[in-house]
Structure 1
């Protein structure tokens, strides 16, 4: 399954009321939305028909998140679905996740793209060298270890999507500051010269789920229902929902 097929199916399963996208590019993924949406990209060049209630923001994600009233288009509501496909460097992707999570509900779903490079050259930090191969995932894969280690409250599911893999994150906590506190130290470890030492389990996708298994799971009705509940009430129920579906145990 390709990443945009997964995203299309997630729109169908979740029926999100609000959708956030970081990295709009030509509009391929945004064209899947039929709901109130915000798309952020400093250099978007839309080549698809967009059929949603959309605010397009021509800015970097950092500029967007720092702006006053960034989420006014959502009327103060949390997003139900977010797709992060911005700059393909770990320090940017981690920052995008931190800033995105601040506007989440426990029943929100965050999808990170380019998390599972297939070969070492796809995981280089230097885009020019990677592009000679074809695809560039960058070193975004590095943030998954930090999410699992520092945020065991999150459920992070690697998904075997083409071409460069995705991760779906459940149970976000808008009040968490753990990653903010650790950010500078993490970035020092991330920003190192190429070539990158990519873990074998990333390249082999040994922990990755078939996305069809996730899509066939029993969680979707419950997530739609629980996003109507206050965050404090919804959190334990979302955790129970994921556990009952067999999705809460790390692979």
Structure 2
């Protein structure tokens, strides 16, 4: 299954109410959205019809997230929580807008992708779905930090190991899409500061010169799930229901985690 076909089906499976995309390029992935969306790219050149309510942001993702209320386009970024007992919205009682589906396909260097994840996670929660593109380079040249090939993934594949090492609370699934795979992340915790606190440490360890020593497990796609298996998994509907009901992590995360871990074993 090709990456855009998988992303199209993922929109359906997640039943997402909003969408964030980092790295618009010509708009081929953005055109799949049918919900209120924000798309960020410092040099986008959209050449396809867009069929959603979208805020196109011509900026780097770092600059975008530095804005006051960057998700304002999505229902105003914040909205008051209704007091169900009294039927009114108390002053100063606000609920933040949470991202349902995010697609990270920006600069193909791991440190940029890591910062994008840190920023996206602050606006997500356990029922959000976060997707990285280009996570399974087909050869060492394609994975170089200094681009010298036509097709180029860069070294964003390092996020697989980084998230596994530093954020074992997350569940990460490599997906065997064509041409260069994707990584789907579940269980975001907006309160976590582990990655931002240890960013400099991670950068010092993983920023190494070319040629990159790409793990065989990445090149051979070991453990990557088939996209059709992920898409037909039984947890999507309960996940969307839990998200729409605003269930707390304590009530919904453990069953989802078990279902995801069974998928990786099978």
Q: Same fold (TM over 0.5)?
A: yes
Q: In the TM superposition, what is the alpha-carbon distance from 1:235 to its structure 2 partner?
A: 4.7
Counterpart of 1:213 in structure 2 is 229
- 2:210 pairs with 1:194: yes
The ranges of structure 1 where at least 4 consecutive aligned residues each deviate by more than 2 angstroms after the TM superposition are 228-231, 244-251
* SS of structure 2 residue aligned to 1:227: helix
Q: Is the 8 A contact 1:31 1:49 kept in 2?
A: yes
Give the distance between the partners of 1:250 and 1:177, measured in 2 at CA: 29
Counterpart of 1:30 in structure 2 is 30
Q: Kindly tell me: are residues 247 and 48 of structure 1, through their superposed partners in 2, closer, same or farther at Cα, counting changes over 3 Å?
A: farther
**Structure of greater Rg:** 2
Give the distance between the partners of 2:5 and 2:254, measured in 1 at CA: 26
Give the distance between the partners of 1:66 and 1:210, measured in 2 at CA: 36
Q: Kindly tell me: are residues 7 and 235 of structure 1, through their superposed partners in 2, closer, same or farther at Cα, counting changes over 3 Å?
A: farther
Give the distance between the partners of 1:239 and 1:29, measured in 2 at CA: 31
Q: Is the 8 A contact 1:107 1:235 kept in 2?
A: no
Counterpart of 2:143 in structure 1 is 123
Q: Which ranges in structure 2 are unaligned for 5 or more consecutive residues?
A: 79-96
Q: Is the 8 A contact 1:101 1:174 kept in 2?
A: yes
CA displacement, residues 40-66 of structure 1 (integer Å, 9 cap, x when unaligned): 000000011000010000000000000
CA displacement, residues 8-43 of structure 1 (integer Å, 9 cap, x when unaligned): 000111121110000000000000000000000000
Give the distance between the partners of 1:147 and 1:236, measured in 2 at CA: 24
Q: Is the 8 A contact 2:130 2:185 kept in 1?
A: yes
Q: If the length of structure 2 is used for normalisation, what is the TM-score?
A: 0.89
Q: In the TM superposition, what is the alpha-carbon distance from 1:248 to its structure 2 partner?
A: 7.0
Q: If the length of structure 1 is used for normalisation, what is the TM-score?
A: 0.94
Q: Which is richer in helix?
A: 1
Alignment of 1:71-82 (within 5 A): 71-75=71-75, 76=78, 77-82=97-102
- 2:27 pairs with 1:7: no
How many residues end up aligned between the 2 structures? 246
